[in-house]
Amino acid sequence: MRRLLSSLYYGLPSARATMFLIPPLYWFRREAASVLLKEVLRLRPRTVLEVGFSDAFLTRRLSLALPKSRITAIDTSDGSVDKARRLNLPNVRFLKDDFFNHRGRYEVVVSMHVFVLFDHRTALKKLKELGDVHLITLTGFSPFTVLHRPFHRLMTGMDVNLIEPEEYERIARKEGFKVRVVKINDVERSYMVVCFNPS
Ligand SMILES: C[S@@+](CC[C@H](N)C(=O)[O-])C[C@H]1O[C@@H](n2cnc3c(N)ncnc32)[C@H](O)[C@@H]1O
């Protein structure tokens, strides 16, 4: 049963995308993508890794915003990879890969609302291998995210590791990153962290 629910939740990106037609989700996702894109455009990286692209909502925007950059987008879901490849984005390579197994070096790593699925310390250690600048959106505790959490666990078996920005900053600093936090939306309690690896 869990496998079935899980394969429906992340395995069918088009079905998941329809949930984002519901007004608050629609705005939350657009806001998060626009904050990430603004920062990406400021940095203008030549190489980008996007982690967990799902229905390629952010990838399509990255591809348009950075036509001369090489973008690698990874996701563990076969359904997402198959669907995204059909978009034929000229500067994007879609791969089925797990973030924790991925190898490579990028000017910027970008990820929208995926790192809440990871253990934060372990993910930060992995980020150091992949590049020096990381733009990650996360969510803290709000009535909305606290209600969403059991639903996500039921559907996927995965916990959502909600974390307040101050706590994330503390963990990232301990891992040696310089960190800047940009608030996105108070209702979703979403924010972007810009982590620089100074070494
Ligand atoms: C919460 S969704 C976010 C999708 C998209 N970034 C968005 O904001 O709509 C998480 C996505 O990350 C993918 N994912 C989960 N664990 C992953 C991992 N370890 N490596 C790569 N992708 C992963 C899932 O398959 C799913 O498509």
Query: Which DSSP helix (H) or strand (E) runs through 183?
Result: strand 178-185
| Count of structural domains within the chain | 1
* Cβ(51) – ligand 1 distance below 6 Å: yes
What's the average model confidence in pLDDT over 105-127? Answer: 97
* pLDDT at position 11 over 90: no
Q: How far is the CA of 76 from the centre of ligand 1 (A)?
A: 7
* Cβ–Cβ under 8 Å, residues 70 and 108: no
- The residue among 11 and 47 whose pLDDT is bigger is 47
Q: Residue 80's domain spans which residues?
A: 2-196
- The residue among 120 and 17 whose pLDDT is bigger is 120
| Per-residue pLDDT reduced to its tens digit, 39-96 | 999 999 999 999 999 999 999 999 999 999 999 999 999 999 999 999 999 999 999 9
82: domain CATH number is: 3.40.50.150
* Cβ(191) – ligand 1 distance below 6 Å: no
Tokens 């790593």 correspond to 109
- CA 100-12-26 angle, to 5 degrees, is 90
* pLDDT at position 1 over 90: no
Query: Which DSSP helix (H) or strand (E) runs through 195?
Result: strand 190-196
Q: How far is the CA of 27 from the centre of ligand 1 (A)?
A: 19
Q: Which two tokens stand for residue 61?
A: 């925007």
| Distance between CA atoms of residues 174 and 190, nearest Å | 22
Give the atom of ligand 1 at the shortest distance from the alpha carbon of 75.
22
| Distance between CA atoms of residues 32 and 12, nearest Å | 22
pLDDT at 24: 82
